[in-house]
Each structure stands twice: as structure tokens, then as C-alpha cells.
Structure 1
Amino acid sequence: MTSVFSEGFYKAIFDGCSDAIYVIDPQSSRILDGNTRAWQDLGLSREQLLQHSVVSLQNDVENLEHWQQISAQILLNDSFTFIGRHCHQNGAFFPVEVYTSVIELDGQKVFISIARNLDLTLSQREEFRTRDARLTYALNEAVDGLWDWNIASGEVFFSPQLKRMLKYLPHEMEPSVETWVESLHENDRERVLRLIDDHLSGRIAAYEAEYRLRNRMGEYIWVRDRGRVCERDEQGKSTRVVGMLHDISQSKKLEEKLRQQASHDHLTGLLNRRAGYIHFKKQLSYAQRYEQQFTLCLIDLDHFKSINDTHGHLAGDIALKHFVSLLSDSVRQSDTLMRWGGEEFLLLLPKTDAQSAKLLIEQLKDKVQASPVSLDGREYSYTFSAGLASFPGHSMDMDGLINSADDALYSAKASGRNLVMISYNCSDIEQAELF
């Protein structure tokens, strides 16, 4: 039977549809065509629309690799429903429900996507008058990921935003509590499960935890998770818990950056003096507990003031970083180099006696002297002096070791610089049998 409808009729339906319609290339996600509603919803002209792709228009499709995963699912099932957010030309986002199907056009498969702008859906606005509809909307569109756990069945509703947060596709994530438990970082799992059990049993009023959660790509993000029991049975046993998951990865990175800045020298990246004292105390305590030799070395760059006076403080900074790079590449992994102040550094050498440490520092001194730094286009050679003190021979405590090493450094400087000297201040312990 011959169709009575002309091509113009179908064109009129295409352009007159109240929902946006897109024709999409399955491989590249490029927009091949769109109806009037499509470009109007996005604040674009037709020509501008055809310069875009799903990756550039859909906020919840991160990149081409992500699109290809979605495309494979569409081709496998011949249809696909997706809740996401489209990007308007003015930078705002609006929620859409996208239904995609596969058709053949001139021997090639293309996607036809019908996108309903949920902000413009009158029926949805009508549904908002009921409490359940408002709750449903909140669960689907809230910025934070929301979850709803039915304890009896073990089922967990993961909101679309929670799935997006963890880079899952809408149909992915098995809706079970095991999905969540298996995604917990192994170092956080016991603590988090204990906290939620404390809340379920009534020992704490609410569940709250910060922990690492594995996303679809196998990477861990930091989250803040809060929840509360909302239903109990007649015996008072918890039957349902709802909660909210918030991505705090950025704030954790900032927190770590601030912690790094507080404990490390901003120029060299080494531990600063305040954090160095703490680390020194731990290292010495370890040596005392296990009766091991422990040596510290105070290092001071020779004639460093002349570098600043001749070439400027920026050149001095370059020389300091050059020195730190040379030593950091040469010391053992167990050793710790820290900036003690100005051009003075402290090197901790665990499980090392004074004589062995002196040999190591002599080698480092020769390396530094043979490795000039480039300042103002010229090679500049410099040296350092060092003073050594060891536990238990020179002192049993931290302050005593530092004073002994400082005395040895002063002697090296007074004797002509570019020298490594061991403290002559030996306690009575050194005369006895050492560890």
C-alpha cells in the first residue's frame, strides 16, 4: 500500500515536535541534524548546533571514550534512556530525559535521540504538588548523590547524580549494599562499616563518615557520607536508611596542600624546621628502642652570602634548589634531608655510625664541588661544610646531638670550610662498648 503522506509531512512533524530531536553519529557523537526545538532549547542556531556533538552538549558525557561506552550499550539494546543535563549557550544546565533508538539511514546506523526538557514539562510541574514527587525529583536531580537502603532486602537505590559522581552509566551499579561495600577503600572499610553499624544499633544518633570510594574507572575519590535511619519495625529494629554522598576530593586536595605548606619548605620541598623536629624525634626514638646507631649531619653552604650579593636572591634560590637536587639523588631512601634555616640543612642517617656517615658526606661534598650551578649564564662552583654527631656516642637526646653537630660544623667553618668534621664532644658512653 502506498503511503499517502509526503516527505514534507514528516518534515513538518520533525520540526513541529515539542521535544528536541537529534540525529547522531554513533562513533563520533557528532550532531548530524536536529529539529527546531533542539537548537532553541540550547540557545543556538541550526548551523551552530551542527558544529556540536553529544560530548560538548551533554554535561554528563565526559569525553569520547565515555560516549563510546554509551554508544555500545545503545547498539546492543537498540534503545536507551538517559537522564542528564544539557548545556545552554549561556552556560546554564537544564535537566533532560533522553530516549535514543537506532535506525538505518542510507545503509548506515544512526541514533535518533528525543530529549525532553524537564524544566518545561507541565505535567512534571503538576506532580511537584505532591510530597512523593518532590522527593523523587530531589533524589534524581540533587547536586549530591543520594542513596536509600532497604536493610531487609539489601537493595540500595543509587540516585542518578551518585552514579554520575562515580562515572557510572544510568543502567550500571548493581542496586545492592554489596556494591557500595566492595567500592570502599580497604583502609577505610572497617572503620566505615563500624560507624554505620553503631548508628543502626542506636549507639550513635546519626551516621557520618569521610572515606575513599572507588569509581567506575578504578580511581578513588574522597566523599563525605551522612545517613539516618528513617524507618524501624515494631521491635525498633532499623529497616530503612537514607543518606547523602558528597564529593570532597577537591577540599581534600586543598587540605593536603595546606598541610604540605605547613610542614614543608616552599622553596625546596623539604621538611621545614618545625616538621623536622617531629620527624627527628621519631627517628631517634626508634634508634633508642632498637639500640641502633644514629647519626645526624648539619650542613652549611660556604660563602653563600656572596652568591646573593653578587647575583641576587633569585640566583641564591636557584643554588639552593640545585644543592637539594644533588643531595636528594644521592642519599639513601632511609635518610632524611630537611631545611634547617637559610643555607643550613640537617641530614638524618639512621643505622649509621659517625665514621660511615663521614665517608658518605665526603662523597656528597666531592659531588657538589664537581657539579657547578648555572647562574646568569655562567657556571658557578660552590662547596659546603658539615658537622656530624652520633647517638649514643655524642649524646642520648635530640638537643644534645644538635649541639654537638653544631659545634663540629663551627669547627669545620673555622678550619677553612669545605670540610666534614665529627664532634669531639664524646660522652662517657662512647668510651664503653657501643651497641
Structure 2
Amino acid sequence: MIILIVEDDSGLADLIKEKVEECGYKTASVKSAGEAMEWLSMNTPYIMLLDYTLPDMNAKEFITELQRKGDLLPTFIISTGQGDERIAVDMMKLGAMDYIIKDNNFLDLLPEVIRRVVREIENEKKAKEQKERLENVIESTRLGTWEWNVQTGEVVLNERSAEIIGYTLDEIIPVSNQAWKKNVHPDDYKRAYELLKLHFARDLEYYECEVRIKHKNGHWVWVLNKGKVIEWRKDNKPLRMFGIYMDITENKEMYEKIQELSIRDPLTNIYNRRYIFDRLEVIVAEFLRENKNFTVSIIDIDYFKKVNDKYGHQAGDFVLKEFADIISGSLRPYDLSGRYGGEEFIIVSMNSGKEQTGLKMDRILEIVRNKKFIYKDNEISFTFSCGISEGSELDDISVAALIEAADQRLYKAKNSGRDMIVINS
């Protein structure tokens, strides 16, 4: 495993190299973003230790350029001598696994930071391998396929699609959308239709719904129905849609486990950032149609770096997991909580305004203030800062606008002394 050191100070680069190699890793060193891009075009590091300030561009510009070019982005840690917390937060949002400040303790703390990132990489790798194993089990089963001319209603199925519900293909030809509607359980049809409308309106990237379809023998078969419009008319209406049927009557539990693995943060077991953002897109679309208010809260643990520095990164991981449990236990069943990145968390509260959500966050903050988190006989205390935005306060609502408003209020809380909730800019 090679760790790429991107550092323009040759003397410091040598000291970093020595520390990293003491941890048992091989190293490679470059002095600029340009040299790093050239090295990355031919090699893939296990981790990249990236100095924020480089001669030709800063780390934010460098990572943004890699993303723009579509290059594979390596796992990276940011090192900075500026001590600017906003820089650290910005880089974490661009994908940094951790950050470390170049102070007097920099070289002493570096090995533990690297070991922590390695642990996170290994955890994610294990979760991915488990997900792939389960996916392979399901992929080895035969799938029904369908192609639908949305405008004419004509549907083309394969033999397996007919077999799932007890027919031969010859028995059900010709197939139409009306015939499908007739055989779908009435309790499932409305939900399926609403999801189709969202997909046709491009509010959902693809259509996915679990429905019961009547078998030839009269019983109901659970089917996972997934599809996507593959051709649009010039007037932006759907023309052709392609999808699959999967009989999940017996395998439904296994499939749900795969879905859970793909949307959960491996450390805290709450939802991951991608899933929360996907759900927010749907929630914003619902708000625009039905005006159901909701809030977005972004939480940042105050001085979390001090917890890691004083007690170690395993203690930091323990705190993150315990805090996630407190959040989950304090929310209603239909609210959403997720890990936003690093020590930041995001909460989506349904049918709620800023004031109501603010009171809920105050209760959570009070729980955290009064709790001693015991890790290996150490009593760890912390607080958090929180910014809250709500859908109804924005003239031009979007996921990005909601996040930006909550982010601004979070920074206001942090700049005002931390340990507080801010609901207004």
C-alpha cells in the first residue's frame, strides 16, 4: 500500500515520509498539484496526504479539477498550516476522509490519523464486499424483463415475466398496460402510479416499486418492479420505458438487507449522505406539490478534534456512534437522520417548522450536555452547534438552497460561541 505525500516543503515531506514508513506503509512524494496529477494518471495510492497550500493551486482547486476531468478520486487526508476550520469543512465536503493541522503536534498525531482512515477504508470495503456478495446471490436468479411504449400502452415481456405469475408468454400475449393495471393489487396500484408520475416528471431518476400481482392460481406474488425511461419525445413526454420484474416473495428480506447496506453509514448505522440527499429531492418535490413543510438541521460536534487528540480516534468513533444513537432515539419514526460527513450530522424533520424543530434540537443538546460518555474509563463530554432551515422560508426552494441556509446558521452558531441552536440568519 502506497501513501502519496503531496507537500512542497521538502524538509517537512522527508519528516512525513519517515513517520508514514514507520507505520509500515510505502510512500511516494511530489511537490505540486501538477506533479500529483501526473503521478495519479499512472498510479493509484491507498491514501493521499494532501497539503492544502501548493505552489500551483490549493487543494480545493486540485480536487475540483480531478473531479471535473472525471479522474478517479483517491482517498485523501488534508494537512493545513492555516488552522481555518472553514477550509477543513469545505474539504470534508469534497470527500476528504480527515484533516490535520500542521502545528507542533502534527508529526506525533499523523500516524494515528492515518490508522483511523485505514480503519474507515477497511470498514467500507467490508460493507461493499458484503453488499456485492448478496447482490450476486440475487443476480443469479432469473429476472423478468419488460419494455413499455408509454404512448400506445403496448408492453413486451420475456418468458420469465409470464412465468413469475404462472403463465406462459403465449397465454398472456398481447400485453398492455391496462392488463397490468387489472392484475396489480388495488392497495399497491396508487403508490405505483404516483411513483411513475414522479419519474415521468424527472423528480425520480428511476421508477422502483414493490407490488403484488395476481398469480394464475389466484394468490398474490410480491414483485419488485424497477424501470427507467430510455427514450423521451421532443415534447419531453416519456416514449419508451425499460425495466425488470423480480419475484421477491421469498427473497424480499434478503433484498431489503442489500438496500439497507447501500444507504447506511458503516460506522454509525444511520443513513448515509447520499441517501439523505436522494430523499430530500423527493421531499422537496412533495413540498412543491402539496406544501407540506419540513426542516433541515445540520449539526456539528464542537471541538471534536480535541476528543480525537486527547483520547484517540477510536474514542472519537465511539462518540460518533453514541451521538448517532441519541439522535435516532430522539426523533419521530418518520423523521430522517444521517451522517453528513466527519463529525457533522443532518436531520430532516417532516411536518415541522424551525421553531418546533429548534425545541427538539434543544432537548437533544440538553441530553448531550448532561451525559458523560465513558470510553475505557475516560469520561468524555461535548456539545454541538446546529443550524436549521425550513422549506416554507425559501422563495426558490431546492436541496442546495436548504443546505446552504442551514450551513450559514451552523457557522453563525459556531462563531457565536458554539453549544447552541440557530434558526435565523
TM-score under structure 1 length normalisation: 0.42
Quick check: which one's helix share is greater? 2
Task: Indicate the structure whose relative CO is greater, using CA pairs within 8 Å and at least 6 residues apart.
Answer: 2
Structure of greater Rg? 1
TM-score under structure 2 length normalisation: 0.42
